[in-house]
Structure 1
Amino acid sequence: MSELAAKRGVVMVAKKALFLVFCIGNERYALKATEVAEVLPRLPLKPIAHAPAWVAGIFAHRGIMVPVIDLSALTFGLMAQARTSTRLVLVNYQPEPALEPRWLGLILEQATDTLRCDPEDFQPYGLDNRQAPYLGPVREDERGLMQWIGVADLLTAEVRALLFAPDLIVGEA
C-alpha cells in the first residue's frame, strides 16, 4: 500500500472477478462471468447431423442460430442430467482475438451459483491434458477443487467448421 493511501485510510482491494459456478457430476467448475452473455432455462434443440455426440443441437435466439454443446458429454462422455438447475448458458465464444465473438450455448448442470474471487486464486494443476485444453487452472476452498473452463478453447477447428460460418473458422482465408 502506498504511503498516501495509508494516510487516507484507503484499503487496497484485490482484483476480484465474478464466476458462474456449475457442476459436472459432483465436480465443480467455473466460467468467468464476462464470458457469459445470458443464462436461459433448458430449451428444445434441433439436432445437427454428423456432429459429435456432445453437440446437443441448435436453436434460434433473437433471430440468430446458436449451436449448443453439452459440457458434461464433452468432458466425461455422459449427457447432462435434466435437473431443474440445468441451464442453457450462452457464452461469447471467441477462439481468436481478431474474430468477432459469437454465441455458443452450453448445457450446464447446477448452474445457479456465482463466486467472486481473485482470478489468481486459480492455479495450474500440473497435468498436461491436451485432449481437453479448455480445462484450466483450479482453485481450492473448503468444498474442494473448482476448475476454470476456458471458453475460447472449447471447440476444435473441425467442430468450429461444422457449427459456425467460415468467418469464425481459424486458418481459413
Structure 2
Amino acid sequence: MCPSRTHAPARTVRGRLYLQFRMGGDRYALDVQDVVEVLPLQHVKQVPEAPAWVAGVFAHRGVLVPVLDLGVLALGHRAQVRTSTRLVLVNYPLDGRSRWLGLILEQATDTLRCRPDEFRDYGLEQGGARYLGPVYQGRDGLVQCIRVEDLLPEDVRALLFPAAEGAA
C-alpha cells in the first residue's frame, strides 16, 4: 500500500492490489482500497474559478462528484481522450467520513499486486505535491503511488466540498 495515512497496514503476504495508470511517460498507482468504481470518461460541468486541474463535476447515482484531471495537477497537461482514459471514483477522506472524488486517468486499465513495503521513499522533497507517494521498482520499471488523502489543498477542498467545510 502507498503509505496511506488512513489505512491499517496490510497483513497479507501475497501483496495488495493497485490500479495502474499513466501520466506523461510515467506509471502511477492507486491503492484499490481507495477506489470505488472505474467508469468510462464522462462529460463534466466546469467549476468557475476553480484551478485548471479541477475538471468539473458530474452526477453519479444522484451524487454530485467533483472531478480532477490528475495530469493537469501533476504535469500541467490534460489527459488525452483515449479508449483507456477512465474516470476513477475514489473515496476521499473528509471530516472522519468519505466523499467521492473523480479522477481522470490515462491508461487506467492495468493492475499491480505487490506488498506495501515494496514501495520505497526516494528521498526527494515533493514541495506542494504531497500526494506523490513512494516508488515501486518492478520488472517493467518504476511505479509511483498516489495518496488520495493528500490530493486537495485546503482552499480547493473548501471549494469542492463547501457543506463539509462549513460543518467542521
After TM superposition, the structure 1 = structure 2 runs for residues 64-83 of structure 1, keeping only pairs within 5 Å, are 64-83=63-82
In the other structure, the counterpart of 1:146 is 143
Mapped partners of 2:163, 2:127: distance in 1: 25
Greater strand content: 2
In the other structure, the counterpart of 1:39 is 38
Shift of 1:142: 2.1
In the other structure, the counterpart of 1:108 is 105
Shift of 1:15: 5.0
Gaps of 5+ in 1: 1-12
CA RMSD, 1 decimal: 1.4
In the other structure, the counterpart of 2:119 is 122
After TM superposition, the structure 1 = structure 2 runs for residues 51-90 of structure 1, keeping only pairs within 5 Å, are 51-90=50-89
Name which structure has the greater RCO, CA cutoff 8 Å, separation 6+.
2
Shift of 1:37: 0.1
| Structure 2 residue matching 1:45: 3-state secondary structure | coil
Q: Structure 2 length normalisation: TM-score?
A: 0.89
Mapped partners of 1:56, 1:125: distance in 2: 30
Shift of 1:166: 3.3
Q: Cα deviations across residues 37-64 of structure 1 (Å, max 9, x unaligned)?
A: 0000001000000000010000000000
Mapped partners of 2:14, 2:159: distance in 1: 38
1:18 aligns with 2:17: yes
Q: Structure 1 length normalisation: TM-score?
A: 0.87
Tell me the number of residue pairs that the alignment of Structure 1 and Structure 2 aligns: 157
Return structure 1 stretches of 4+ with deviation > 3 angstroms.
none
In the other structure, the counterpart of 1:7 is none
Shift of 1:165: 2.8
Gaps of 5+ in 2: 1-11
Shift of 1:141: 1.4
Mapped partners of 2:82, 2:14: distance in 1: 34
Mapped partners of 2:153, 2:114: distance in 1: 29
Q: Which amino acid aligns with 2:92?
A: Y
